[in-house]
Amino acid sequence: MNELSGFEIGVVVFLLACVLVGTTPVFNTLFQFVVLPFHALKNHYRHAAPYAPNVAVIVPAWNEGLVIGASIERMLSLEYPAERLRIYVVDDASTDHTPDEVLRRAAEHPGRVVHLRREVGGEGKAHTLNHGISRILADEWAEAVLIMDADVIFARDSLRKMTRHLADAGVGAVTAYIAEGSHDRNYLTRFIGMEYALSQLGSRRTQNVLGAVACLAGGAQLHSRANLEAIGGRIPTGTLAEDTMTTFEGQLRGRRMVFEPHAVVLAEEPRTVDALWKQRLRWARGNVQLTSIYRKLWFRPSRTHRLGSLSFGLSWFSILLLPAFMLLAAGGLITLLILHSELAEPVFRFMWILAACTYLYSILFAVQLDGRTGRSSWREALLFPGVGAMVLMAIAIFPSVFETLLVDWIGALTPRDRFVVSAILYLWGPISLLGAWAARGLERLPGGRFLAGLCIYVFGYGSLLCAITVDSYIKEWRRADATWVKTEKVGRVVS
């Protein structure tokens, strides 16, 4: 290699920096799972105590006739003092038999089940919740409020495991582990189950350690009365991420949010790429909106909360800007290749060996944290990053083997051949993003469910979420309609 000029050295350093910055999400994942074991030492349990406050349960319901009756019965059977638990179903102008199901339970359990009807609905979940919260806080009885979805199943001991944290007045809210609980799982719900093990049992435990929680799960969030009153007695409206904004607002007022991994709540998750896309697009757009709303918060440490810490900011933006990081790393690598830099290959190998180590460590950790999901979703755990990414990891670790196989397959390699092969490898991130995006369109074709599933297995479930994030950028930039879209639930969850 000829001696480089000062300008050329600067270009190479810049490109290396692009690749390094582009690998931020990998470093963040590795950091989180390295910190995770400290949850055994730094958690909230030493401040918790047996505690059974009066709990008002709010269930927002729009056309939930298939699931609402069973949900009420299960909540009434929790291991919790009956006289300290009341259920308020906020019927958001349902047009099916939801009111009949609720009124029947209200007649069977007078005083314990309450039907609240909104005659004008469709304004979104936050407005529906606020209708119930205003009624509950008007009465001094409730000491805590549990917000749940109409279809979820709480483990019998889950509520008392959550309320014990409210024995500490410094805790504003507690969230549970939402696990995928469909009895007839398909490939997509198994991927979601694995994602939840990683993002909740893994990442949220780390957030407990670091002192800043990103989001109280919308289907299982327990607030102290004081916390709700401190944030104005209502759930913030105007965004598509009301649960995340509520989480932020409580912490900004100095209250602690706690993730309780041993309180298990089973939920029904989307079974098609299109349904998942609509659900996650709402979540992703909400996070884009909140990033702007709290723009003065990021990377500004505070004595009141930890939301401005470096670790929380890196975690937040590693997810929000994942597509940008992916493109930055790929752009840096391909430019190094075009400039004939000898650094391109070792940088590529470093990046993918790091990804391989992080993938193996995090997946093995997550699987043992939730043995049920690990046993039923072992295939999805193995292929979570996609077959293509796993091939790249193998190439990075065993380059000579790949070289031999390539020569055996196509013969002697010309410089042009090597360039084309390297370019495909270096651009795999953007390619996988496009491939995952195509899954949504393929799903609508005859035999499309199979083709869509094949795309997800090849290009990776993470690439699918990344594609949805890109769509959220586009929708926010175009200021597309931001109507709150309900995920269809038909009662596939089993206890």
- Is residue 135 within 8 A of residue 151, CB to CB? The reply is no
How high is the pLDDT of residue 332?
95
**Domain limits of the chain?**
6-24+316-478, 38-303
Extract the tokens encoding 107.
Answer: 């007649």
How high is the pLDDT of residue 479?
85
Which tens digit of pLDDT belongs to each residue from 250-295?
999 999 999 999 999 999 899 999 999 999 999 999 999 999 999 9
Percent of the chain with pLDDT over 70: 96
CATH top-level class of 38-303: alpha beta
Which tens digit of pLDDT belongs to each residue from 27-64?
999 999 999 999 999 999 999 999 999 999 999 999 88
Which tens digit of pLDDT belongs to each residue from 433-460?
999 999 999 999 998 999 999 999 999 9
Query: What is residue 343's three-state secondary structure?
Result: coil
How high is the pLDDT of residue 484?
53
Q: How far apart (Å, rounded) are the C-alpha atoms in residues 159 and 79?
A: 8
Query: What is residue 262's three-state secondary structure?
Result: strand
Model confidence at 209: pLDDT above 60: yes
Closest CA to 257 of 214, 197, 201: 214
- Is residue 386 within 8 A of residue 428, CB to CB? The reply is no
Q: 405: pLDDT confidence band, cut at 50, 70 and 90?
A: confident
Mean pLDDT value of segment 83-97:
92
DSSP 278: H
Verdict on whether the full-model pTM lies above 0.85? yes
Q: What does the mean pLDDT of the chain come to?
A: 92
How high is the pLDDT of residue 488?
58
Q: 482: pLDDT confidence band, cut at 50, 70 and 90?
A: low
Q: Determine which helix (DSSP H) or strand (DSSP E) holds 348, and give its type and residue range.
A: helix 344-369
Q: How many CA atoms lie within 13 A of 40 on its CB side?
A: 4
| Percent of residues in the chain assigned helix, strand, coil, to nearest 5 | 60, 10, 30
Mean pLDDT value of segment 172-181:
95
